[in-house]
Structure 1
Amino acid sequence: MPLPLLEYSQIAQNARVKSYSVGSEEDPRRSPEGLRRSPQDMDALIERSYRQIFFHAFKVDRDAALESQFRNGQITTRLFIRGLLLSPRFREGFYRCNSNYAMVDQIVGRVLGRKVNGDGERLALSILIAQRGLEGCVDALLESNEYLDRFGEMDVPQQLGRVLPGNPGGELPFNQQAPRYTAYWRDAQSKRAPAGPFRGTRSWGSTPHMVMGTDVMAPGPVPVQVSPTWKNGQPPRLAMNLWLLAGGLGALELVRVLLTTAGAMLSTGSGG
């Protein structure tokens, strides 16, 4: 039985401040009512949705089938946002590159347009991701009263309260606050190593390292994680064949250069 969502307290942040100022470009943009919108309106909504979720999406990252459903009125803006969050592009570019805690910051900022309410909300939603996966967390936020009251079925989420009247400067745009991946993914990738004689350790140097499960510093080789793309201690067959082909061609070229040089030296000596 899954655990219920943990309770947490809200914190003070710009997104909770109601604005009574004259409208500006920082205010939430209201989408045209109804599902029958002009092609120009649909183009604008789609571009804003991609920008909110990915900040920038290349042509190859776009989901033509999902866009077609949205343009034809088969799904609402909220369901279009859901499709982008569960797309292979988001899973590979964000979900795969972050811990559950970091994913909470990513999803809350993109879906609800605000920061996380401290470690309490971060812990509660990270447990939800561990239990129900990315889809469970996305559905919980998109079906929440906060999202429906703020954006409804038709509006594209956006960062709220980035600039408040009377403040000399506003908050950074969310895409600058939360980059696609952090040192967590960089460090995990740096520990990957080829299989074979280096399997399981990084053999150079004797840098002390933490023994797993203890607070003891141990000298010697540092354990590393073997790349999952290598099977049975061997690289992919295509990579191996290409490497062997390159090695064979290099050897033939080296022999040709040596024979050519030797022939030139002999011809020069006989001519003298």
Structure 2
Amino acid sequence: MQTLANNLNLLETTADPNLLYSKAPDNGDRKQALNSIYKQLFKENRNLEFFRNAEIDSKFLAGETSTRQTVCSLICSEMYQDYILMTNSNYHFVTICFERVLGRSPIQAEKLKWSSLLASEGLISFANKFTSTNEYMDVFGDDKIPALRSGKLFSSNQNTPALPKFQSIQRYTGPGNETQWYGGSGSSMLPWDGKLPPTLVRKAGAVFTVAGAIEVARVLILIVMAALGTGSI
């Protein structure tokens, strides 16, 4: 298992028999487990039925897919992309995945590593590799439902919503920010804090603005004087 930061206060996962499954026919326990998976992945949303994916659900309930495969599929689902990925920067999205899928907060090096992988390889590759890490397999295996393992979660603990994009983007402006989704250089963010340029730049801009206004006024005066001289006015 990967070594974690000492201040994360990791908690031992409890062996709940309702969270362990072998491939089996549809039954009440698997329905309960499926609800728990959705609650863990979409925890800031109260109406979980809205996020249901019929194809993913039916395969799990029929015992065709494991809990781990279902978690991976839901991360790749359209709903997870639209309501979790697209509303956050890659950097913050990785933090959310660590907290909801691995049950703990990531350290800085992990944020950088996984956000770069997401930006370069895409969501499907990210989800497959993330749910196949040694840590995930050692702690949850194929059939345990991801659960809280740390007492210190910063983004999505206790059903607190993830940060809105306009806030989270300020924390991450490296590879994989919003420009990869909208594909335009015009959507890139300004590099200054608060989107305001330094004082020197603002003063220089004011000077150029005043100078431009004076030049426009001078040209207008010359035009009027020329018109008066020719008797056009």
TM class, shorter-chain normalised?
0.5 to 0.7
Q: Which residue of 2 aligns with 1:86?
A: 76
Post-superposition shift, 1:186?
A: 8.5
Post-superposition shift, 1:123?
A: 0.8
Deviations 1:136-165 (A, max 9, x none): 222121011100111011111011143xxx
Answering whether residue 129 of structure 2 is matched by residue 129 of structure 1, we say no
Post-superposition shift, 1:110?
A: 1.1
Q: Which residue of 2 aligns with 1:23?
A: none
How do 1:113-192 and structure 2 match up within 5 A?
113-117=103-107, 119-162=108-151, 174-176=156-158, 179-182=161-164, 184=166
Does the residue aligned with 1:94 lie in a helix, a strand or coil?
A: helix
Superposition RMSD in Å = 3.4
Q: Which residue of 2 aligns with 1:104?
A: 94
Answering whether residue 24 of structure 2 is matched by residue 36 of structure 1, we say yes
Q: Among residues 73, 76, 90, which one is paired with 2:63 in the alignment? A: 73
Does the residue aligned with 1:217 lie in a helix, a strand or coil?
A: helix
For 2:3 and 2:136, the matched residues in 1 are separated by 17
Change (3 A) 1:153 1:209: closer
Q: Among residues 186, 196, 202, which one is paired with 1:210 in the alignment? A: 196
Does the residue aligned with 2:60 lie in a helix, a strand or coil?
A: helix
Post-superposition shift, 1:101?
A: 0.8
Higher relative contact order (CA 8 A, sep 6+): 2
For 1:49 and 1:137, the matched residues in 2 are separated by 19
Do the aligned residues in 1 keep the contact of 2:88 with 2:165 (CA within 8 Å)?
no
Task: Name the aligned partner's letter for residue 53 of structure 2.
Answer: D
TM-score (normalised: structure 1): 0.56
Answering whether residue 14 of structure 2 is matched by residue 10 of structure 1, we say no
For 1:142 and 1:180, the matched residues in 2 are separated by 21
Q: Which residue of 1 aligns with 2:190?
A: none
Q: Which residue of 2 aligns with 1:48?
A: 36
Deviations 1:46-80 (A, max 9, x none): 11000000014432321111111111111111111
Deviations 1:221-252 (A, max 9, x none): xxxxxxxxxxxxxxxxxxxxxxxxxxxxxxxx
Q: Which runs of 4+ in 1 moved over 4 A?
A: 170-173, 185-188
For 1:178 and 1:116, the matched residues in 2 are separated by 17
Q: Which residue of 2 aligns with 1:239?
A: none
Post-superposition shift, 1:172?
A: 8.0
Change (3 A) 1:216 1:60: same
Q: Which residue of 2 aligns with 1:60?
A: 50
Ranges in structure 2 where 5+ consecutive residues have no aligned partner = 171-185, 187-193, 207-233
Post-superposition shift, 1:100?
A: 1.2
Do the aligned residues in 1 keep the contact of 2:105 with 2:154 (CA within 8 Å)?
no
Task: Report the number of matched residues.
Answer: 178
Task: Name the aligned partner's letter for residue 4 of structure 2.
Answer: Q
Change (3 A) 1:150 1:72: same
Change (3 A) 1:181 1:160: same
For 2:137 and 2:3, the matched residues in 1 are separated by 20
Do the aligned residues in 2 keep the contact of 1:110 with 1:157 (CA within 8 Å)?
yes
Does the residue aligned with 1:51 lie in a helix, a strand or coil?
A: helix
**Higher helix proportion (structure 1 or 2):** 2
Post-superposition shift, 1:43?
A: 1.2
Q: Which residue of 2 aligns with 1:229?
A: none
Task: Name the aligned partner's letter for residue 196 of structure 2.
Answer: M
For 2:75 and 2:201, the matched residues in 1 are separated by 41
TM-score (normalised: structure 2): 0.65
